[in-house]
Amino acid sequence: MSLPQDQIGAEQRAREDALVERVVASFSSCEDPRLREVMGSLVRHLHGFIREVRLSEQEWWAGIRMLTEAGDITDADRQEFILLSDVLGASMQTITVDNPKVADATEATVFGPFYVEGAPDMELGADIAGTAVGTPCWVEGTVTDTAGNPVGGAQLEVWEADDEGMYDVQHGDGRVGGRARLRADAQGGFRFWGIVPTPYPIPDDGPVGRLLAAVGRSPMRAAHLHFMVTAPGCRRLVTHIFPSTDPLLDADSVFGVKDSLIKEFTAHEPGAATPDGRDLGGRAWSSVRFDVVLAPTGSVPA
């Protein structure tokens, strides 16, 4: 049985210290200095956590079982380890560290587990909704660099959940909807029809969901629309935009909301004229503007 911190004697601490040093020393022959640094730090922090909470063997095995279950449930369409990283804030911390704020460049946020390579290529102004059901939403903006120059031809990949709170890959029937790949025009402009984002729960029928339930946390994500924007000479941007009216902005289960990414989605009455003249059959619709600013490759904070 693990002893509490205030009952750990000098001899026991010395035994624990010695084990940490032996494990760290085992990486001393690693020829990759970065790998050696990462592994040494990982060991020190992992052992530090075990020692700080005086982890029991029973608790350790419970953690091993959870990780095993996460591996078992992971497949081509679901990445439970990303979910675990997300709900622990590790994904956002990594993004924050790896994407320091540069001038007025658009801030990055979590990638999420439902990005799929090979999204259909679509023309500007297209309806990306496909099989995804929801309120039509006109999305437009420009892509520029931090000097204000348009980034013509920038590639944008966009994806979002439907009104059922599910991405196309979650339906399991091969449908494609709510995702596309587009190219900005020569002036950096982009535009497309999607659907108004709605809140949804992250998949909570697996080990991550059970963890959230055990600690009394909600699995709900704030409503959002994903973007990944790339262009030569610019740092890749992975981000979302969030409707300003969403009540979950302060309770996003993966800590992905940033103030700069909260946008005004303007609601339009049924039958109101659309920007491109599209006939929506008398349905209500919304619109939002999102101007993307890309940081240069290799840029550092001012």
Confidence of residue 247 (pLDDT cuts 50, 70, 90): very high
What confidence score (pLDDT) does residue 1 get?
Answer: 60
The string of pLDDT tens digits covering residues 73-110 is 998 878 899 999 999 999 999 999 998 889 999 999 99
- The answer, yes or no, to whether residue 298 has pLDDT greater than 80, is no
In order of their start, the domains of the chain are 5-55 (no CATH), 83-294 (2.60.130.10)
Tokens of residue 56, six digits: 């029991």
- The answer, yes or no, to whether residue 276 has pLDDT greater than 90, is yes
Contact assessment for residue 49 and residue 55, using Cβ atoms and an 8 Å cutoff: yes
What confidence score (pLDDT) does residue 2 get?
Answer: 67
How far is the C-alpha of 102 from the C-alpha of 302, rounded, in Å?
6
The string of pLDDT tens digits covering residues 161-193 is 999 999 998 888 889 999 999 999 999 999 999
What mean pLDDT comes out for the span 137-166? 97
The structure's pTM equals 0.87
Cα-Cα end-to-end distance for the chain? 51
